[in-house]
């Protein structure tokens, strides 16, 4: 009974959390539409069927709906309606339509960035130019000389300014004695060790685990770093197909997931968060927030892809109008988006089935 209750609670928390990200997306469209003098006939909390109307303001009906998952923004005339209907989305100039379409994805990106900035203020920001030792394996080359917390600054006189750089410098020196210049309690020390040519499974050549040291920052300091992190996640997302095709990433290590798959990850992240909280109560909820930030950013960038039915697909049809003053016929655009929507729904069904048959398990 306890398992059933905990599962039901986990599902409810996921619906509320993921639904909030979808709601924020639609809120972004709503704010952008109203700012660009496009009438919004209905802004719904949840999806239809409608339960009741909360109130009407500024020509918009604010409604509560039966499916408690996100929300929707119904603009006058729809996105491919009559271009002569005053106040409709279709009648607005292309720049106003572009701003309205961008409103949703940008809001998701901003939310994700703000969440990451908050996380930076709680756990600190990594100094990517420094490498610190976090653990040392017993009976390893590093066991007698190095200590947890040591910062490696040089190897054989060459600067170590990143984890990748240290790896590059160690590799050609396997089996040879090297000199590590370290900072221990802010005091410089030179240490000689010999990286192993063959290491036990799970251990590196020196027998140390390394990471970037973290330091406390304010929220204002965190914003630029969170922006870089957000853009980097977008870059990784957009480059994923290229890396799959080129073989840089195995197909077994990356796959498209449905809402069911996202829930599977969410439930495991909840467990990880509980385990981390048991060790350090101050980190409660941070793992979940980090996951939600990643999903919000993924929603933002995914919706910008030039795929019919997505915001990016609608933006794609604006390009001829913006560049050449030639508008694609709304009827043609509507048909393309409908076909895209059907394909996406079919793909979603396939992904749901795959996520049920082959559930995602975090490694």
Question: Based on the number of CB atoms within 10 Å of its own CB, is 142 exposed (0-12), middle (13-18) or buried (19 or more)?
Answer: buried
What integer pLDDT is reported at residue 96 of this predicted model?
94
Q: What is the pLDDT of residue 250?
A: 66
Average pLDDT over residues 281-295: 91
Helix H or strand E segment including 35: helix 2-35
The most confident of the ranges 110-124, 158-172, 238-252 is 110-124
pLDDT the model gives residue 62: 94
- What's the pLDDT at 125? 83
Are residues 115 and 291 in contact, defined by beta-carbon separation less than 8 angstroms?
no
Average pLDDT over residues 339-349: 89
pLDDT at 39: 93
Would the pLDDT of 2 be above 70?
A: no
Query: What is the reported pTM?
Result: 0.79
| Residue 254 confidence (pLDDT) above 70 | no
Residue 265 pLDDT exceeds 60: yes
Pick the closest to residue 106 from 275, 273, 300, 252 (CA basis): 300
Q: Quick one: average pLDDT of 231-235?
A: 89
| pLDDT per residue as tens digits for the range 112-123 | 999 999 999 998
Give the best-scoring range by mean pLDDT among 95-109, 155-169, 310-324: 95-109
**80: phi then psi, degrees, rounded to nearest 5:** -135, 40
More confident residue, 85 or 98: 98
Give the least confident one: 79-93, 220-234, 249-263: 249-263
Tokens of 108: 């998701």
Q: Answer yes or no: is pLDDT of 163 > 60.
A: yes
At which residue do the structure tokens 């870089």 appear?
A: 228
Range in 20-34, 47-61, 240-254, 331-345 with the lowest mean pLDDT: 240-254
pLDDT at 363: 66
- pLDDT for the residue numbered 204: 82
**Which residues are 74's β-sheet partners?**
42
User: Which one of 3-7, 33-37, 172-176 scores highest in mean pLDDT?
Assistant: 33-37
Which of 113, 75, 115, 119 has its CA nearest to residue 97? 75
- With contact defined as beta carbons under 8 Å apart, do 115 and 133 qualify? no
Give the pLDDT score at 199: 80
Top pLDDT among 233 and 105 is at 105
Tokens of 55: 């109130």
CA–CA dist 196, 78 (Å, integer): 66
Q: Is 84 exposed, middle or buried (0-12, 13-18, 19+ CB in 10 A)?
A: exposed
| Nearest Cα to Cα of residue 228 among 112, 350, 146, 57 | 112
d(CA 132, CA 137): 15
Distances (CA, A) of 247 to 103, 136, 255, 339: 35, 33, 14, 31
Give the start-to-end residue ranges of the domains of the chain: 1-39+76-124+218-363, 131-215
Q: How far apart are CA 148 and CA 136, in angstroms?
A: 7
* Confidence (pLDDT) at 251: 64
The per-residue pLDDT of the chain, averaged, comes to 88
Task: Tell me what pLDDT residue 252 has.
Answer: 62
CB 165 within 8 A of CB 241: no
pLDDT, average across residues 213-228: 90
How many CB atoms within 10 Å of residue 245? 9
Position 300 scores a pLDDT of 94
Q: How far apart are CA 248 and CA 240, in angstroms?
A: 9
pLDDT by residue (tens digit) across 169-206?
998 989 899 999 999 988 999 989 989 888 887 788 88
Residues in the chain: 363
- List phi, psi (to 5°) of 265: -65, -45
Domain 131-215 sits in CATH at 2.30.42.10
pLDDT digits (tens, 9 = 90+) for 125-144: 888 888 999 888 888 888 88
pLDDT digits (tens, 9 = 90+) for 46-69: 888 899 999 999 889 999 998 877
pLDDT at 1 over 60: no
């Amino acid at each position: 009974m306890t398992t059933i209750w905990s599962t039901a609670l986990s599902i409810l928390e996921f619906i509320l959390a993921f639904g909030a990200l979808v709601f924020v997306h639609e809120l972004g469209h709503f704010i952008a539409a109203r700012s660009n003098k496009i009438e919004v006939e209905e802004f719904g909390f949840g999806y239809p069927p409608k339960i009741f109307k909360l109130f009407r303001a500024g020509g918009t009906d604010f409604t509560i709906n039966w499916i408690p998952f996100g929300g929707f923004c119904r603009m006058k005339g729809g996105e491919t309606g009559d271009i002569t209907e005053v106040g409709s989305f279709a009648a607005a100039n292309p720049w106003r339509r572009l701003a309205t379409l961008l409103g949703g994805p940008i809001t998701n990106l901003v939310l994700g960035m703000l969440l990451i900035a908050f996380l930076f203020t709680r756990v600190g920001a990594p100094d990517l130019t420094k490498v610190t030792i976090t653990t040392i394996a017993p009976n390893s080359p590093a066991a007698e000389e190095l200590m947890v917390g040591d910062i490696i600054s040089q190897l054989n006189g060459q600067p170590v300014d990143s984890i990748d750089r240290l790896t590059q410098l160690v590799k050609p020196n396997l089996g040879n004695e090297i000199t590590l210049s370290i900072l221990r309690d802010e005091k410089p020390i030179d240490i000689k060790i010999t990286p192993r040519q063959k290491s036990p499974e799970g251990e590196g050549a020196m027998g140390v685990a390394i990471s970037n040291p973290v330091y406390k920052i304010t929220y204002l300091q965190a914003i630029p770093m969170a922006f870089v992190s957000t853009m980097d996640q977008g870059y990784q997302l957009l480059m994923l197909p290229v890396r799959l095709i080129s073989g840089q990433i195995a197909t077994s290590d990356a796959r498209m997931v449905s809402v069911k798959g996202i829930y599977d990850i969410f439930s495991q992240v909840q467990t990880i968060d509980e385990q981390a909280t048991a060790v350090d109560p101050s980190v409660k909820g941070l793992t979940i927030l980090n996951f939600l930030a990643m999903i919000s950013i993924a929603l933002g960038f995914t919706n910008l892809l030039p795929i019919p039915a997505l915001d990016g697909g609608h933006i794609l049809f604006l390009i001829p109008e913006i560049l050449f003053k030639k508008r694609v016929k709304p009827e043609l655009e509507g048909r393309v988006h409908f076909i895209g929507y059907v394909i996406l729904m079919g793909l979603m069904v396939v992904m749901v089935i795959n996520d049920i048959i082959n559930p995602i398990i975090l490694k």
